Each structure stands twice: as C-alpha cells, then as structure tokens.
Amino acid sequence: MLIILNPAATTEQIESLNHTVRNMGFLPHVIAGTDRTAIAVVGDTKKLDESYITRLDGVDSTQPTSQPYKLVSRDVKPQTTVVDLGTARVGDGSLCVIAGPCSVETRKQVLATARHVKKCGAHALRGGAFKPRTSPYEFQGLREQALELLAEARAETGLPIVTEVKDTETLPLVARYADVLQIGARNMQNYSLLERVGDLRLPVMLKRGLSSTLKEWLMAAEYIVARGNNNVILCERGIRTFETETRNTLDLGIIPLLRERTHLPVIVDPSHGTGYASGVTPLARAAAAVGVDGVMVEVHPEPAKALSDGPQALTFSMFETMMRDMRRISGLMGQAI
Ligand code: PEP
Ligand code: MN
C-alpha cells in the first residue's frame, strides 16, 4: 500500500507515521518525489486498516499497489530514478554509454581501450575482473589485479568503472574499486548477493537473467531496493529463445513496458544481446530509438585475441562509428549524449 502524504506534511508527522506503520508490523519506505511524498508500506498489507491510516495527521490518501514488486514500481514513484556515477548520470534523460572489454586482460589492453572509448565520448568504462564463465576451464578473470588496472584507467581518464561482482565473498573487495557493481545474468536470482549489495549504497547494475520474466527481474531489483539501496540500473542483455544462430535474443520489446512498470533507469547491452560484433551497432541504435537511459557495449583492441567474448567485441573503429550513430539517433530523439 502507498500512503500519499499531504504536501504540507511535516518531518515530525512523517516520522510519527513511520513509527505507526512499524508498530503495526510493516516496513515503511519514504519515497520523496518532486511533487509528492509517499510512504510505501511493504508486507501483507491486506490486514491494514486503511480508514485508520487516512485519518492520521499528514496523510492525504492511500492507494493500493497492484504489482507484487512495490518499491521499484512506477506506481510508487512517478519520476525515473537518477543514478549518479560521479561524472555521469543514468536516468536523467541523457544517453549514457558504457564501453570496455569483456574481461580485463592486460594493462596495455585496458588502458588503450579506456583512452579510446573516452576519446569517442563514452561515459563509463566496463571491464570484468571476476568472470562467471560457462566452463570452469575458461579464463576466469585477473581478479584483484584487474581491479587495480581498472582503477588506474579511471585515474587517468576520469571514467567511472562498471565491474561484475560474482559472489558475496568477493563483494567487499570489488566494492572497494567499483563505481557500479554489475550483477550478471547468471546471478540475477542470487538472493543473498542481492541483499548484500542492497546493504551498500553503491550503484548496482542488475542484468536480466538468461530466461527471466519481467516480473522475476523486477522482484530481484526489489530485493536490492528493499534493503535501502535505491541506486539500481536495469540492463536488458538478451534472453534465451529457440534461436541458436544469435547468442541471445535482445528483447527490445520489453523496454516500453519496463518504462511503464518501473521508475528504475534502463540500459541495453547489445553485445551479449546478439553475440556477434556486426549486430552490436544496429541494435545499439535500435535501443536508443526505443528510448533507454544508456547502452553498454564490449570493445577490444584486438577482438580475435580476446580471452572472452571476442566474437561480439567491437574494434576501436567500429566503436567510433557506433558513437557517431548514437549521436545521430539521440539528436533525433532530443536526448543529450
Ligand atoms: C558481461 O557483461 O561480460 C557478462 C558476463 O554479462 P552477462 O551476465 O549478461 O552474461
Ligand atoms: Mn562479456
């Protein structure tokens, strides 16, 4: 249930309402919007006495929340959440471009890529340090050494770092370096990891699970926000379908619906969404035309030599072309880039 506050409600009244809600055995979450403040009451609210709540000081009205996800629902907060990455913002109406290698492999590789994507206008650098690979025999990432290299690239270029956290054991280490914690598709329903990142205030990029529905994805995001971390970005990265020629099927059809259902910012990853380099720029353009808060793509100086995801990596010149195209589409859409 949503308690809509009177625009004139005082801090004391809000505190007292929170107290009342807690005493009734529910969890209150204050959601401050630009033109209204609301308290989302989470729990089995069927037992709540609505008429009693409506009579309390500072309350304007109550509203049931129709979806199983509450705090991430657009019902609760009409404005899109803006996630601050330090030098860039996701969800403020602009198009944020995140680019970099699938995995950090060498100092030379990550620094050259960071410099190039920065020069072309990217807003953040991606790079995997801990890689969740399908096979245990494949490259697992340079781990802490990779985090140090990413930090060096950040110090030089000013680009904030997006890197994946694979498990709760390595979370404290990854959180010391990352500006955005990426939760990979394979971990979307790793609830203990979701809760632990929910306890932090670092931005989290939650990728859609390999075969997750919109509802499952938003419920996973709810785990993070329910622990108090509102800085969640959703990333559509393709889902499993019957098609085997592409790595995944990029589900752009979900984007307008996500926009209606959630206030969380949404980005698209056409690299994992297609699995082949020549498909990345066309799908990045399509994502920008559908209307997203950002795109994330993989870029490598020598894709043929990449230790992971080489077939889908853009070369430097392909990335330059992609950025030129993104500027054209975002211009058409009236979106800053
Ligand atoms: C990645 O971003 O390199 C990655 C492993 O992504 P996903 O979790 O979407 O497969
Ligand atoms: Mn990858």
Residue 72 in domain: no
Q: Is residue 172 domain-shared with residue 49, that is, in the same domain?
A: no
Q: Is residue 134 domain-shared with residue 198, that is, in the same domain?
A: yes
Query: Which is nearest to 237 in space by CA: 193, 257, 278, 267?
Result: 267
Query: Which is nearest to 273 in space by CA: 248, 296, 243?
Result: 248
The predicted-structure confidence for 79-118, as pLDDT tens digits, reads as follows: 999 999 999 999 999 999 999 999 999 999 999 999 999 9
Tokens of 100: 């970099």
Burial status of residue 152 (CB atoms within 10 A of its CB: 0-12, 13-18, 19 or more): middle
Atom 1 (ligand 1): residue with closest C-alpha? 102
Q: Is residue 284 domain-shared with residue 155, that is, in the same domain?
A: yes
Query: Which is nearest to 203 in space by CA: 160, 169, 172?
Result: 160
Q: Is residue 88 domain-shared with residue 128, that is, in the same domain?
A: yes
User: Which pLDDT band, with edges at 50, 70 and 90, does 170 fall under?
Assistant: very high
> Which range of residues forms the domain containing residue 28?
2-63
What is the C-alpha separation between 60 and 5, in angstroms, rounded?
5
Total domains present in the chain: 2
Count of CA atoms in the C-beta half-sphere (13 A) of 99: 33
Question: What pLDDT is recorded for position 81?
Answer: 97
Q: Is residue 53 domain-shared with residue 175, that is, in the same domain?
A: no
Residue 26 in domain: yes
Q: Pick the atom of ligand 1 nearest to 187's CA.
A: 8
Residue 305 in domain: yes
pTM over 0.85: yes
Q: What is the CATH classification number for the domain harbouring 45? A: 3.30.70.1140
Q: Is residue 201 domain-shared with residue 303, that is, in the same domain?
A: yes
Q: Is residue 271 domain-shared with residue 143, that is, in the same domain?
A: yes
Q: Is residue 175 domain-shared with residue 300, that is, in the same domain?
A: yes
Q: With H, G, I as helix, E, B as strand and everything else as coil, classify residue 46.
A: helix
Centroid of ligand 2 to alpha carbon of 51 (angstroms): 52
Q: Is residue 41 domain-shared with residue 154, that is, in the same domain?
A: no
Q: Is residue 251 domain-shared with residue 111, that is, in the same domain?
A: yes
CB 102 within 8 A of CB 313: yes
Q: What is the CATH classification number for the domain harbouring 122? A: 3.20.20.70
The predicted-structure confidence for 189-230, as pLDDT tens digits, reads as follows: 999 999 999 999 999 999 999 999 999 999 999 999 999 999
Q: With H, G, I as helix, E, B as strand and everything else as coil, classify residue 98.
A: strand
Cα of first residue to Cα of last residue in the chain, in angstroms, is: 37
The predicted-structure confidence for 275-334, as pLDDT tens digits, reads as follows: 999 999 999 999 999 999 999 999 999 999 999 999 999 999 999 999 999 999 999 999
Task: Give 242-288 as a DSSP string.
Answer: S--SSSSB--GGGHHHHHHHB-S-EEE-HHHHH-SHHHHHHHHHHHH
Q: Is residue 40 domain-shared with residue 137, that is, in the same domain?
A: no
Which of 13, 28, 63 is the endpoint of a domain?
Answer: 63
Residue 196 in domain: yes
Centroid of ligand 2 to alpha carbon of 171 (angstroms): 19
Atom 4 (ligand 1): residue with closest C-alpha? 184
The predicted-structure confidence for 237-263, as pLDDT tens digits, reads as follows: 999 999 999 999 999 999 999 999 999
User: Which residues are near ligand 1 (CB < 6 Å)?
Assistant: 102, 128, 132, 184-186, 207, 237, 272
Question: What pLDDT is recorded for position 168?
Answer: 98
Residue 75 in domain: no
225-237: string of b/e by CB count within 10 Å (b at 16+)?
bbeebbbbbbbbb
Q: Is residue 52 domain-shared with residue 133, that is, in the same domain?
A: no
